[in-house]
Structure 1
Amino acid sequence: ASFYIDPRLQPTDGRVSMVNLRRLTAARRMRVRIAQADPGIRDVVLRVYAPEFVPEHKLAAAWNRLSLEQRRQLARGNVYDVDLLTEAERRALVRRRWAGVGPIGVAGQHYRIRKLYTFREIMGKELAPPVPPFGLFVSPERHGVIPIPDPGGRVRLAFDAVDDASVPAGKLMLHWRDPGGRVERRILRPWTDARQRMVLQLQPGTLEVVSNRAGAVRAYLQQSDGGWYEITPHYPYLAIYLTGEEPVHFAVHHVSDHPTVMRFDLRRIWLQGTPSACSSVSYRLLARDGRTVRRGRMAAPVKPSRFDIMTGRWTDSRVSDPVRHYLWLPAEVDEVVFESACPIAINGYDRPDGYLWTTHVPEDYDAAKLLDLQHRMPGWFSVRPLNLKTLLLHNRIPLIQVQIHPRPDEEIQALMQGQYHWQEYQPEGHPAARWLLVPRESPLPPRTRSLPGFYLHLPRDREIQVRMEAEREVLRPNLIFTRTTARPGKLTLWLDGQRYASMEVAGRIGELPLPPLRRGVHQLRLESDAQTSCFINHVNAMDDVYVKRLVYPLRRAPVDFVVDKQPWERNKVISARLFMPAGRMREVRVHVRVRGVQRPYLRDLRGWTFSDRLFVVAPPKSMAKAPVLGKAGMFMDVGQSFFIPLRADLPAGRYRIEMWIEGRDEGYVALTNVLPGRYEERRIVEEAAFENAVEY
């Protein structure tokens, strides 16, 4: 604001004009007069400035004499703040300045002076928005995810509201999931004060925090010595490249003219005040001569993300979860161009042809260790756009904060309800398969049809109550025994107070069929010597249960498994479990190769399968042993699971999976497949005669 002391005069806003005098080398004076003025204008004031160069020895002092506001005005065109400027940048800012030039003559005779008063620098405390509390930000639009590291324990949560008056009475929904996403636990707590504290007993997994008021959450895990250390995640920031005003160009890098796979993550952007956003983006594949090889469109997500948020000046906008598209590009394609009418976020990644995908088991499946970006080997390599500078100038590269996403709820519910299809694969040829009795680790309740393969460990000389179940009225249980001695022994099994079975056993391992009995609740008691352990199947229990698994030898020579991918299986995930001799203390390197992979070029693919993979499998933490049935004195560890995905890029058909171990290590492997949901299946039931069943 500017004003004169004389209240009858009111100054208008000023105008700045630049006069270039470089070509007027003979000019010595400049005369200014009014050529034309409106009737309401009383007079015109003028101030002339000329460029002045500060001597080199005064540059440091010139910067120090400036106020903070003057420094900010000089540095407003710089990317960095005044506190981050280098010494050379500071000298460059003060080296040239504009100095006032007074008129020639005597004041009052040749010119008049008017004093114009202007509010320029008000040195007061700058009003800044309040600093939000430290921690993981949560709000009604953004859920927070906290990984709970192994081995879990007492977790202390601290919540601090951003705005105390935003919601008078808040609610906190805590949703815990196990690492496999198969077991969940929901905790509902009120949030009445600005600060909320609670302590929970949690197992390893992920904790999703849902709140109806904005706030920050911090998490602490209690250590064995009683102390607490913070486990609040520090999620990374990702630069995204927006289409709309400018197209986004990505170069395709080929290795020796081999085909290259590129992955593009698409995110939909909802700007403030915009009712809708683009649902797709168009792309063009360009050859080296600029010719368009192919055109197409890629679909964008339809819902905003519950976990990822925009940052900086884009905090009022919403971003979706990414949708991944893949392009298998031959050597003729040199560039990919994306265009859309409104903002769509594009991130490009590539992977050199023949680069082996390495997975460390189980570290790479741990959500808490996925955040350790410094020690993780990247699977995909980020590609910067060719027009990166143009996107920077147009402010088309915002930052978003990304989180680890839990599995979809519908898959968890299907697994919890026992609605899944389970399939076991056998290798080609005639390998020497073995049966293992492995401790069951799954937190899912057992299905009735699976109980013939689940064995309960029977305590010795103690009566227990069990529920025997089967899909038919009469069941035929089996008894497996393991002994530490080869001398003959005697087993007696009592059922509901009466002798059920009595037999003489010899050898270290054996399996015996038991008489038929009706399903239901029974009382069991085992009488045996101290050298014998017994297991019985068809018992619906969760603790002290073992699984009888058929496994196949895995050595240096490849083992072939044939896998059929059906048309309805968009993404088929094969689960492999490796069993090594008990007592192993070092890693094992397992190679997996998928044969029969054929993909179309230049097409938008919704998945990508790596045909060559390396799994570095660490020994399991559990020291439990799994006896090898039919092999006296041989024990394996409890095994480590790893996964072989067959993505949507592979059409329905038959594929061959080759597996082998590096070096001279030998073990056993089992391949299975679990698909959540209901599937058509065929059952063959053999009903036993009731008169042969044991009744009491």
Structure 2
Amino acid sequence: MRRLWLAAVAALVSAALLWVGHGLWQRLSVPLLRLEAPADFADHEVGLGYVVAEDTQPGFRLPPGADRLRVLVNGAWNGPQPVPETRFSLIGTYRDESGLVLGRESVFFRAGRTLYPRDAAPPLAAVSFEEPDRVALDLRIALLYPPSGTASVQFEPGEGPPGLVDVVLRLYGPNTLTPGTEQVAWQRLRRVEKQRIAGATIEDYRFLPAREIAALVRTIWRPIGPVGIKDRDYRMRRVFIPRHVPPAAPEVLIAQPEVPVLGPGRAVTVPLPESGGCLSMTLTPLSVPLPATITPTAAPRLFWTLHRRGDTPLTRVVPLQIGVENGVQLDVQPGDRMIELRSEEPALLRVTLNRPPPASPGEDRERAAEWDITPPLTRIETWRARPQTPLQFGFHGSPNEATALRLNLIALPADFAAVDQAGPVLPTQSRAEVRFKNADGRILDQQTLVWRPAPDPYTSLAPLALGVPLGIPLVRVFTCPPGTRLVEVDTAALVQVALRPADLPLVRAVPGDYADYQGESRPIPLWFSLAPRQAAALRRADHAFWLVRQQRPPELAPELLTGTAWNEALDLEPAGAGRVLWLPRARDGFFETRAAAATYLALPVGQAVSVDFIADGRAALAPALLFVRPPEPGSLKIFLEGKHQQSLTTSAPFGVLSLPPVSAGTHVLRVEADPATRLFLNHRLPEDNYLLRVFARTLDQPLWVDVEKEADSAVSLVVTLFTPRPATENTLVVTRLEGVDPRRGGTAFTPREGRFTVQPAEDDALGQGEPRYDAGQRFFVPLGDDLPAGTYRLWLEKVEGPARLVRVTRQQSLTRRPTSLRPAPAAPTPKFFQE
């Protein structure tokens, strides 16, 4: 019996030793990616990629505290080796724990150029597939910054060229694990990946070399696996892209230059890395013959504007020398967002960044590699259509969502050889038929365009450079019906087509690592010093400008200069901040001319309150009272020092009253009203003003507002949309600027047309009853100094969406933004009133 017990104990000990030995062997055999430099992993392969295609959109659950994500992608090209600088993108959707969408972000990548030359040298070469007609693009990298409260992120394909069949993605989050727990996590991940590898095929996965991943991930990143990968179908499908369908008769594809060219009306925006560095801009003016209608500039100049984190743009003017290479150097600081470049003469551009951030704390900045961050030329394929032979463009979009399609039509002479020496020979009238068809060939929608071509004086400066007179481009934006698979364009003109996936955001934070901004609808980083929730909402807005003059729309609505007035900046004073007020210079209930961004103090209804009034040097001024109440008849009674001063009977849901004049000092104020009424007394900030009047009207019909530009200096209009609760859908608004007389020069150019997709604000506005509106979401319409003084008309038209109210304000200064609101000081006279 004793022998049996000893044998059993020996078997148990042997099993334990074998288990421990097996685990130790696995631990020793699994490479850890906590390295300070690339290491040799022999034949080990890690970094399983997850396919992202039209019908494959993997989701990833974020670990707690993941405030940023690193994305490694590798695109699959169907065909021969892709050309350098091939562009593609992914769209990430951020969701909270309940599945509510917090935001969407489009990340652009470019093949043929590594973003981390210090970490992965030489760059990762293209990897060939088993199939001879399929290759993979180079490894691409970017950083994402999920909104606060994000629990998961889902990826889908964005824009890309024909031939890009899918993208393989690998996601990493910040490594908050300890060395011990990190090792265990890596072992578990390796076991899972080995199981996937055992049953994977070349059509399911592609692998990234461990050497490159170790060099790029470094010590602060760890992999994040997808959610529900076992239940997903990883089939290859074409990315959501426009694709030309060649018919039997060959078309003429017009070649375009590959180098960025500055010039009149051709501004370039260069996003900057988060960490700063030494920026070098090299410009070579071109010797281009100008049309007879354009007067040559004696001393051409370069205008550049640097946008900083604090949104205080720095603008400089640099003279250029014709025929030689001009160099400009600038030190950009950490947090600088972007630089805008404009030139009075056409010139080639190259932008480089020296001394980028070091790869490791011990690396010498001076010996770090140079970044070539020259922005790619915003180009689009141009096709010469033939009469009675329609061009066909096919794309695969969502069957349930509409897609925005932009169509440019450029008239040209019927016969290239028959050019009149006296002037351009353009047709007196041009016509185009646009048809939208589904997969079965059935016409879902059909549009007919008829226009009179006007000669374009800048033809010789156009990127097409055909050597023949061209017409001013006619730009139209259509909404392709859901289920559209084919777009036919039947015309005798040059045709350019671009797609905009639904809800694709164009304004977003510039990531810490350099990101490419490119494509026909490239993002334009805009930064304003707003409150955090306002800034986050503004970045989610959709800004897409097309700088082409449009025909005058019919006058369908009266002026916007009537309606109910609201104050632009409305913010509640924090509790316990005190009751010290600055008296406004109120005129007819509006804060105008000398008015600043105003704050309001909440007043209790029916209670006497002691308020300290601080005057601006005058003997007496009248404060203003804001009331918000149910939309039914009611009355308000105002008592000052116990005496009845004013009464009002109204059914308006909100309004502003000028109270009786009071002197500086402490006064007792009491307002009697319905219990549901909310009262706010204005609080004046001792700072320069930046707003003028505000007007609110319903947006059920197209509206217009006349803007008086008193000088050549730039001004900006702020358009705010209010959406009734509880609607959560986006609102698409189209803007058109009329009366535009473009001229050459200026430090800014003015967009003639814009499309804005605006999400409802997160907070409710000051309103009670039904409907109850949100706090308002704003976007900006600039009027640059390229427009002379005069009167201009801005049209606003809601294409779709639930927003009903709109208000327009005039912003006096483009360099000053509203600062954070704070209680006014108690003693000195504010500098705002010094004259």
Relative to the length of structure 2, the TM-score reads 0.35
Bigger relative contact order, structure 1 or 2 (CA pairs below 8 A, ≥6 apart): 1
Structure index of larger Rg:
1
Give 1 or 2: higher strand fraction: 1
TM-score with structure 1 setting the length: 0.40
